[in-house]
A and B are shown apart, each in its own frame.
Chain A
Amino acid sequence: MRRVMAMVLAGGRGEGLGVLSMPRAAPALPFGGKYRVIDFTLSNCVHSEIFKVALLTQHQPTSLVEHIGAGRPWDLDRLGGGVQILQPFVRRERSLWYRGTADALAQNLNSIEDAQVQHVVVASGDHVVLMDYGQLVQKHEESGARVTIAVAPVAPERGHRFGMVEIDEQDRVRRFLEKPGPTDLRWASMGLYVFDAGFLIRALAELRGPDLVYDLLLPALEAGERVQAFRFAGAWEDVGELSTYYRASRDLLSDRPALRLDDPRWTVLTRNEERPPAQFGEQAEVSRSLVAAGARVDGTVRRSIVFPGAWIERDAVIEDAIVFHDAWVGRGAHVARAVLDKDAIVGEGATVGAAGDVDDASGLVAVGKEAVIPAGATIAPGSSVPVGGGRGRGLPPEASPKKVHGEWPR
């Protein structure tokens, strides 16, 4: 689709993710055993044959920039189009951080103009969804709308988190309520839009405020512009909160996950780290889990997701846990209902979290990147350990599996 470009809002601070969002932007959050959240949106673009993609970044872009590189894993290292990372930059007349979603787009108006496209898909970089944007664009073209909003059904009790829309029988949007109180509206905006490029360019030029919904969409609706809805029935999750991130992750472990990572027609593309096959030791016990290449399991793993290079030692037990790259869980440690960020160390015999109701987000533990839980320590359910926390206490700062055990990777 040469007439379409995608602007991906990837600046999210992801405050709801707590310590997990400290070292990175939410779209760079690891997900699903080997992916980053942004991989889903990027893969959707590529499979939908949208090869002009711009990522609007702001908060902690380093890990995202490294992950995207020149865009090779997505075949987006191209002469024409490809992937661009648009970070706020210093200008002669003014230099401003992006103040909001619409402001980010407005500051990059020239990128949209230069692309000379008919339609602009605006997507969020912190949503996990597998979706053909082609159908969305096609619906948009057929209806002749200025804007088409992708919508998904949500349970009434969750409506307060979303922009809720009222649609008529022709799928035309009649009302749009941003994060309303209790509501009987069923359709939530997925934060995924396709705009008529000319309309978007004009609207951004006349923008009165920084927000895409309040300052662009709502005024357009009020002015009587045609705004359509595109109903999407598949799995979709905004993983900008620890609870939703955890739920979306756990769904991958169900017998029939709503999000299919193994669909050969819609592969999730990511930067492949060159790691050996996953290794399972003589006493490993693994059930209902995802274990990525490069991981090593010598202990017990139940209902968990283990990323590349993570190592679950003998007699350690992890359950309902998510263990990011190169984290280490020492002998006899017990980790339950927890997310361990990259390079975290759980000392021998330590206890992190406790088994319990996995739907109760208040019991989740988040352990920050490179944090160290000293041997034998206990981290109570519902708490979090800051990035690098515990280094220098209990274990020496240079403590790492490689140091403790003498050689890599033991």
Chain B
Amino acid sequence: MNPSARYAFLLAGGLGSRLCLLSEKRAKPAVPFGGKYRIIDFTLSNCVNSGIFDVGVLTQYKPGSLRDHIGSGRPWDLDRNRGGVQILQPFQGSEENDWYRGTADAVYQNLVHVRRKRAEDILVLSGDHVYKMDYGPMYEFHRDRRAAVTLAVTTVPIEHTDQFGIVEFDSRGRITGFQEKPGPGEARSTFASMGVYLFRREVLEMALAEDADDPHSSHDFGKDLFPRFLARGIEVYAHLFPQYWQDVGTLDSFYRANMELLAPRPPIELADPEWIVHTVSHDLPPVRIGAHARLRTSLAANGARVEGQVERSILFPGVVIEAGARVIDSILFPGVHVGRDAVLTRVIADKGVDIGEGARVGGAVEPGEAPAPNRLCPEHLSSGLTLLGTRATVPPGRVVGRNVRIDPEATDACYASETPDGAHVASPPGASVSHGAEIAPEAAASRRAES
């Protein structure tokens, strides 16, 4: 089939509440990853690298930063006269179809966009995952089997099966059982659906129309559509994808997936010229490394400047590490400034965070030790990471514990006398973070240039 007739819907509405601070002001696909990317870059790049140049991105939750990121689609070569990328926001129509009621409803409400497309199959993707996949072989598999629907599946550890749609399939790949997020011990396999679905077009159109009229449906592909397909004997196939695929839906998995990039042979190769992960690149100079700096087992993006010591860390564009500072096991988003002699350990700092001179933030967790979980989000922030929101400040000399959450825009006045393990530092009253005010690396650089 002519790949130019391929069309993909990319579901990017994700709330991502388990990412805590990182996804409170942006949709999960827009969360920064790997030193210069956003999570959605992997899926968008998969599309163009697979020859799919017609993509509708479905957004709903906090789409601002995603919209800014994708723009006209230039970095992905998706600014096209025909096809290209379109951002599809919920709209008001004649019926009650206001907000999307679920993933299936989001696609249903946007089927109008494929009405004039020639695509015989419709690909539905999730913007939440980190993986490099050529969708071409999946199309071939789908055609060979004359499948109505094909799901890409991967193996996951047995203890994580409760987070995924779990499938069973026969030797030809035909799916014989589907469990959506089975309880502990109930999973009948370790094959998880990757959120990559290929539908025969008419199957998708009929199924979505029917689902939309079902008052008992939660309008979700995993929960409602696939079980219904199986119950009716519709041919649903599983296409096994044996390579790296990572759901970065929790803080811990987000942190781990980033840290895995620091291995000498990382599980996902970002430097492969045959499979470039495209993103928005800023015009920033190369990484500048000072006379007394040390930079080991780390990634640093253009525009970063390092005078101090950095170990096992990821520095996004425009990050500055002043002399005498030490950054260990940390992820610093664009424009973070670490003052002289400050020490950061196991910290994730969002854009524009400012760490005062001599501050000590976070810490290592010794084996067998369990620091107090965070007061505000104990279920997400308990492994010892410390999280700082956009443009938060840590006062000079301040000691901040582990599992601490410091809200966006927090200033010196927001801190209590101590900030021990598990503490929460709230934003100052009246502070609001609009995505439009996000700090661009250039702006951060200019702020420093003036100081």
Chain A's nearest CB lies how many Å from the CB of B326? 15
**B285:A32 contact, CB within 8 angstroms:** yes
**B287:A278 contact, CB within 8 angstroms:** yes
A181 at the interface (CB under 8 A from B): no
Residues of A within 8 A of B281 (CB): 272, 274
Q: Which A203-255 residues have C-beta < 8 A from chain B? A: 255
Q: Which B271-322 residues have C-beta < 8 A from chain A? A: 271-274, 276-279, 281, 283-303, 305, 310, 314-315
Interface residues on A, range: 35 or more
Residues of B within 8 A of A282 (CB): 264, 296-297
A288 to B300, CA, bound (A): 15
**B314:A277 contact, CB within 8 angstroms:** yes
Which 8 A-B pairs rank lowest in CB-CB distance, beginning with the nearest? A33-B286, A277-B35, A276-B270, A261-B285, A292-B286, A264-B446, A277-B299, A272-B281
**A286:B289 contact, CB within 8 angstroms:** yes
Residues of A within 8 A of B286 (CB): 32-34, 261, 278, 290-293, 305-306
A43 to B158, CA, bound (A): 55
B230 at the interface (CB under 8 A from A): no
User: Who on chain A is nearest to B76 by CB?
Assistant: A274
A293 to B283, CA, bound (A): 12
**A270:B283 contact, CB within 8 angstroms:** yes
Chain A's nearest CB lies how many Å from the CB of B260? 13
A22 to B66, CA, bound (A): 45
User: Who on chain B is nearest to A402 by CB?
Assistant: B273
Given contacts A280-B300, A282-B296, could you give 20 more A-B pairs where the C-beta distance is less than 8 Å? A33-B286, A34-B285, A261-B286, A262-B284, A262-B303, A264-B446, A275-B271, A276-B35, A277-B36, A277-B315, A278-B300, A278-B302, A280-B298, A286-B289, A287-B291, A288-B290, A290-B289, A292-B286, A293-B36, A293-B302
Query: Would you give 17 A-B contacts (Cβ < 8 Å), ordered by A?
Result: A262-B305, A262-B445, A263-B449, A264-B443, A268-B283, A274-B75, A277-B315, A278-B286, A279-B298, A280-B299, A281-B264, A284-B295, A291-B289, A292-B287, A305-B286, A408-B271, A408-B274
Chain A interface residues toward B at CB < 8 A: 32-34, 73, 255, 261-265, 267-270, 272, 274-294, 296, 305-306, 309, 408-410
Residues of A within 8 A of B271 (CB): 275-276, 279, 294, 296, 309, 408-409
Which of B35, B291, B294 contacts A288 (CB under 8 A)? B291
A229 to B314, CA, bound (A): 49
User: Who on chain A is nearest to B299 by CB?
Assistant: A277
**A278:B446 contact, CB within 8 angstroms:** no
A209 to B160, CA, bound (A): 79
User: Who on chain A is nearest to B300 by CB?
Assistant: A278
Residues of A within 8 A of B34 (CB): 276-277
Which of A277, A290, A296 contacts B285 (CB under 8 A)? A290
**A280:B273 contact, CB within 8 angstroms:** no
**B293:A287 contact, CB within 8 angstroms:** yes
A288 to B274, CA, bound (A): 32
If A264-B446, A270-B283 touch, does A287 touch B299 (CB 8 Å cutoff)? no
Residues of A within 8 A of B443 (CB): 264
A41 to B442, CA, bound (A): 21
**A285:B294 contact, CB within 8 angstroms:** yes
A175 to B421, CA, bound (A): 75
Chain B's nearest CB lies how many Å from the CB of A304? 10
B265 at the interface (CB under 8 A from A): yes
A127 to B438, CA, bound (A): 36
Which of B265, B269, B272, B285 contacts A33 (CB under 8 A)? B285
Residues of B within 8 A of A309 (CB): 271
Q: Mark B417-451, 1 if CB is under 8 A from A, else 0.
A: 00000000000000000000000001101100100
A305 to B289, CA, bound (A): 10
**B295:A286 contact, CB within 8 angstroms:** yes
Residues of A within 8 A of B274 (CB): 408
User: Who on chain A is nearest to B448 by CB?
Assistant: A262
Chain A's nearest CB lies how many Å from the CB of B211? 39
